[in-house]
Structure 1
């Protein structure tokens, strides 16, 4: 295996975080993926890069050597990339829609709308679990727009970008359609105290907010399993877990989404762009399409549409 930039980024992330678990969170990937990749890097370089113990991960002598070079190479490559992007953006007079987003149906719906309205103009996407990566790419000009989500009333993830709210959704619980509470109009969180929980990966405070909501309900939740959306759905369908999802999740065979009493958790969809970027001129139109896509997603879930009738503070932001 030849050493690549992504390997240096991984080693640098572990050193900065001080542990593989925290590095995995910052990178938006599973801890097992970080551990496996580090093992392959260490085998390629011929020795351990970190010593691991209760205090976390500390660079070995070989690790310090690699980190010293990485701290020179990574900023230089980033500077080259940013300069090239700025140069290309300055030369381009073609309307482009380079969208970055986390995994979810809202991204696909926005992409569909833009492609339909602008059939002769390039529309591309970049998906990542890491909101910070998407913000960095938008700020540096490698993306035109970032479609991300934040927990509750959390501030936007980057001060460099201009942000507008697309919509705010409650967090519902996903249950197998045969679950005892599947037919309820809403379920109290404490009634699920014995559930195993599953959700998609993410940054920010969502996991802490969920734990705090459970604490207010009088219990400590079992460990949250983070995995991809398809695996989350499967685990719920077969009754292995209860899931957490945004209320815009479309109807899915084998499971139902149920409101949580008191709405202890919510999710805000944001569209961000750099105010000085060439794409800023198209931002109002992209925001309009993002809100239309969110409103359409709301209508596709009848339970959410009914719930909104008595909770008008949620849903799509009006123009």
Structure 2
């Protein structure tokens, strides 16, 4: 068996995630397939690359040797691919990755207005997007980090915080009794079915902790948030939502009492220069979307009064 770039990527992914399961998810392959691939790589190299234990996968001495050579080779390959793509298209494109956000459209519009040519790659997994930036598949990623569930940020990335703590709200049917109040408690929604997307890194664990802390145990359905929106509108479920969510005639958005669930919003790139080139446009777009969301705008104004500072930064 001849080693290929994809084999080196697999070895590095296993080392950096510390798990075959997480590495398979990051690489977009099935775990059994990755396990088989690793066995073949180890056979080709003549020894085990990882020690497998309940706590995860740890590199062996042979594994550390292979990793020390694989990482610079992969970095050189990423640079080659990026340069080739730029030459083929007549100029560089800005490759943007993001988890879901209402700020995206405004961000891309501003980047285009400043002479940049962004493409967009969406993924529910912030860890996967960060890995893609580190691997040279993306230039920048805008991601969220669920409170209590730290992201695995590759060492080679530069990261800046856009919002230190963004409270998460709840969307519920417009005719739900709890919509009579501007701020709802989890007890108000304890008898409802919730829909949560367990594929979002850290989301399900954080929601479970929130329920336990409030002493509630509602029924939970698993599904993506596009499906959740449709089911909220028909009265089937309630769901966690970003505070920038704008209400609709069939869907209300409410703050949760005590702000029990939060995320940190991060922007990541390989260099400070890359960050400086896109951050102002993202900040403008984010606060624009914040002003357009009534519940969030109210929360920010109250928070600003508590902290004696402007709640929503003005956009020049």
TM-score, normalised to structure 2, is: 0.71
Question: How big is the shift at 1:240?
Answer: 0.7
Q: Which residue of 2 aligns with 1:127?
A: 122
Question: How many pairs are equivalent?
Answer: 271
For 1:24 and 1:84, locate their aligned partners in 2 and report how far apart those are by CA, in whole Å: 20
Q: Which residue of 2 aligns with 1:55?
A: none
SS at match of 1:178: coil
Question: How big is the shift at 1:81?
Answer: 6.1
Q: Which residue of 1 aligns with 2:264?
A: 268
Deviations 1:192-236 (A, max 9, x none): 112211134544433222222211211223234131x32111010
Q: Is 1:246 the equivalent of 2:238?
A: no
Structure 1 residue runs of 4 or more that deviate by more than 4 Å after TM superposition: 22-29, 63-67, 70-73, 75-82, 88-95, 153-156, 313-319
For 1:285 and 1:68, locate their aligned partners in 2 and report how far apart those are by CA, in whole Å: 43
Question: How big is the shift at 1:183?
Answer: 2.7
Q: Which residue of 2 aligns with 1:99?
A: 96
Q: Is 1:69 the equivalent of 2:40?
A: yes
Q: Is 1:142 the equivalent of 2:113?
A: no
For 2:23 and 2:132, locate their aligned partners in 1 and report how far apart those are by CA, in whole Å: 19
For 1:28 and 1:213, locate their aligned partners in 2 and report how far apart those are by CA, in whole Å: 31
Structure 1 unaligned residues grouped into runs of 5+: 39-48, 51-58
TM-score, normalised to structure 1, is: 0.71
Q: Which residue of 2 aligns with 1:225?
A: 222
Q: Which residue of 1 aligns with 2:56?
A: none
Q: Which residue among 249, 252, 257 is the counterpart of 2:253?
A: 257
Q: Which residue of 2 aligns with 1:283?
A: 275
Q: Which residue among 96, 99, 106 is the counterpart of 1:109?
A: 106
For 2:223 and 2:149, locate their aligned partners in 1 and report how far apart those are by CA, in whole Å: 21
Would the aligned equivalents of 1:82 and 1:140 in 2 still touch at CA under 8 Å?
Answer: yes
Would the aligned equivalents of 1:25 and 1:203 in 2 still touch at CA under 8 Å?
Answer: no
CA-atom RMSD in angstroms: 3.8
Which deviates the most, 137-146 or 239-248?
Answer: 137-146
For 1:185 and 1:287, locate their aligned partners in 2 and report how far apart those are by CA, in whole Å: 33
What are the residue-to-residue correspondences of 1:202-217 with 2, within 5 Å? 202-217=199-214
SS at match of 1:268: strand
Q: Which residue of 2 aligns with 1:45?
A: none
Q: Which residue among 286, 289, 298 is the counterpart of 1:297?
A: 289
Deviations 1:10-40 (A, max 9, x none): xx99xx867xxx66994599xxxx9xxx6xx
Q: Which residue among 66, 79, 86 is the counterpart of 1:86?
A: 79
For 2:27 and 2:253, locate their aligned partners in 1 and report how far apart those are by CA, in whole Å: 25
Structure 2 unaligned residues grouped into runs of 5+: 1-5, 46-66
- CA, structure 1 residues 299+262, in 2 after alignment: closer, same or farther (shift >3 Å)? same
